[in-house]
Amino acid sequence: MGEIIWLEGQSLSGKTHRLTQLYGQWWRGRETGKELDQPNLALVLTANGQTRRRLTRSLQREIDGRAPVTVKTPLGLMTEDVRLFWPLLLSQGITGKLFPTQLRSETEQWLAVEQWQAKYPGRDSALNPTQRSRLVRNLLDLGQLAGAAGWSDRQVLARLTAGELRITPGEISPEEAIAFWQHWRQWCLGRGFITYGLIFSCYGEYLLKNSQYQRYLRQSYDTIFADDVDDYPAIALDLFDQLRPHCSQAVFSFNPDGQVRLGLNADPNALAVIAQWGQEERLERPTGIAPQLSQQVLTLMADPRSPGPLPSQVQALQTFSRAQLLRQITDQIIAAVEAKEVKPQDIAIIAPGLDEIARYSFLEIFNKAGIDTIVLNEQRPLSSAPLIRSLLTLLALLYDLGEWARREQVAEMLVVLGERRSGGQTKLAIDPVRAGLLADTCYAINPEAPALMPIEQYPRWDRFGYQASQAYGALRQWLTEQKQVLAQEPLSPVTMLDRAIREQLPPEHQLSYGELASLRELMETLQHFGQVQGKLQGSVGDWGEDLIQIRSKLALFLQLLSQGTVTAQPRPDIPDWLPSPPAITLATIYQYRSLRSQHRWHFWLDAGDRLWEMGGASQLFGAPLLLRRREPKPWTQEEQQQWDQERFERIVRDLLARVTEKLVLCHSEISVRGTEQVGKLLNIIQRAENLSAFD
Residue 535 confidence (pLDDT) above 90 = no
**CA–CA separation, 606 vs 124, rounded Å?**
38
- CA dihedral (342, 344, 347, 352) positive or negative: positive
Choose among 57, 37, 42, 62: nearest CA to 2: 42
Where does 3-82+210-283 sit in CATH, by number?
3.40.50.300
314 has which bridge partners? 663
pTM for the model: 0.90
**pLDDT (tens digit per residue) in 433-484:** 999 999 999 999 999 999 999 999 888 888 889 999 999 999 999 999 999 9
* H helical segments located in 544-630: 547-563, 589-595
- Structural domain boundaries in the chain: 3-82+210-283, 93-204, 293-380+574-690, 382-563
- Decide: 231 and 47 in contact? Cβ < 8 Å: yes
- Decide: 149 and 619 in contact? Cβ < 8 Å: no
Query: What percentage of the chain reaches a pLDDT higher than 70?
Result: 94
pLDDT level of residue 552 (50, 70, 90 thresholds): very high
- CA dihedral (173, 177, 182, 184) positive or negative: positive
Buried b (16+ CB within 10 A) or exposed e, 410-424: bbbbbbbbbbeeeee
pLDDT given at position 538 = 74
| Phi and psi based region of residue 660 (left: phi greater than 0; alpha: psi -120 to 50; beta: remaining) | alpha
pLDDT level of residue 311 (50, 70, 90 thresholds): confident
CATH architecture classification, 293-380+574-690: 3-Layer(aba) Sandwich (3.40)
**CA–CA separation, 530 vs 554, rounded Å?**
9
Would strands 443-444 and 451-452 be described as parallel, antiparallel, or unpaired? Answer: antiparallel
pLDDT given at position 571 = 45
What's the CA angle centered on 347, arms 346 and 349, to 5 degrees? 155
Domains 3-82+210-283 and 293-380+574-690 share a fold: yes
pLDDT level of residue 564 (50, 70, 90 thresholds): low
Number of CB atoms found within 10 A of residue 292's CB? 12
Query: What percentage of the chain reaches a pLDDT higher than 90?
Result: 68
Would strands 419-422 and 425-428 be described as parallel, antiparallel, or unpaired? Answer: antiparallel
What's the CA angle centered on 301, arms 296 and 307, to 5 degrees? 50
Cis peptide before 344 (omega within 30 of 0): no
